[in-house]
Amino acid sequence: MKPDHLLVLAGGFGTRLRAAVPELPKPLAPVAGQPYLAYLIDHWAAQGIVRMTFLLHHQAPLIEQFLMEKRTSDSLRHCELDTLTEAVPLGTGGAIAYAVRELGLEEAFLVANADTWLGESLNRLGDAQAPAMSVVHVDNTERYGRVEIAGHKISTFTEKKNSVGPGWINAGMYRLDANLFRDWDGRPFSIEDEVFPSLASTGELTAVPLHTEFVDIGIPADYFRFCRWIESQKAGTL
């Protein structure tokens, strides 16, 4: 796998998780004595990522403080952890476009959500032709939205409101090309609503099916499920 630059979407408000974690941003939700983000960073570093930039907005200073402390970890001595903070919420697409512009990105890069755990993922995704999306199969797509796969490409991309039943879903990790964001006009936008459906309709979006652990801690039930998995030392499946 090429050691692509990883952009981490970590600026959301995490409203659905507030019933369980009322005072902290979602990436810092406590799991067995550590912030959830600590597990993600170690997991990504173990898969060969050497540069991560965290795209922040909501409660950015708390995440910045955590990252400042995390940089001193022996396991990250070969990694570079940076942050980029939006003055206003830009949405998932706007956050990525802002990072492409501010960081001067020219080549393909990886994107991950700071609330999503995927098992073995980066090696396969890093070898895929951009634009590419990791996908996993779930029993009910209603919470996530659904993708349909034709050959090695995603043929349709349906967001959550129109999806139900078993199927493939967007797993929240991508390999994208900087050229997708060259014409950004500075407005907030959702990459899920405005970019992926268009790429799917023209057959440009590569599917990377993964058969691995997956959890999005955006709701309390799944957050507590991840906590139990870590506390069990990753016994069983998520």
User: What mean pLDDT comes out for the span 216-222?
Assistant: 95
pLDDT of 164: 76
Percent of the chain clearing pLDDT 70 (strictly above): 97
Averaged pLDDT of the chain: 92
User: What mean pLDDT comes out for the span 51-57?
Assistant: 97
User: What mean pLDDT comes out for the span 213-238?
Assistant: 92
- CATH number, residue 37: 3.90.550.10
- Per-residue tokens: 174: 């991508």
pLDDT of 120: 78
Would you say residue 236 lies in a domain? no
pLDDT of 75: 78
Task: State pLDDT tens for residues 108-160.
Answer: 999 999 999 999 778 889 889 999 999 999 998 888 878 999 989 999 987 66
Would you say residue 146 lies in a domain? yes
Would you say residue 238 lies in a domain? no
Would you say residue 168 lies in a domain? yes
pLDDT of 3: 59
Beta bridge pairs of residue 168: 137, 147
Would you say residue 87 lies in a domain? yes
Dihedral Cα 43, 44, 45, 48, nearest 10 deg: 120
Would you say residue 78 lies in a domain? yes
Coil/strand/helix, residue 71? coil
Instruction: Determine whether 106 is exposed, middle or buried from the number of CB atoms within 10 Å of its CB (0-12, 13-18, 19+).
Output: exposed
Would you say residue 237 lies in a domain? no
Would you say residue 197 lies in a domain? yes
Overall number of domains in the chain:
1
Measured at the CA of 44, the angle between CA 39 and CA 48, to 5 degrees, comes to 145
Which residue do the tokens 């349709």 mark?
156
User: What mean pLDDT comes out for the span 188-215?
Assistant: 94
pLDDT of 162: 66
Lowest mean pLDDT among 30-39, 87-96, 142-151: 142-151
- Amino acid in the structure at residue 36: Y
Domain interval for residue 135: 6-231
pLDDT of 143: 84
pLDDT of 154: 95
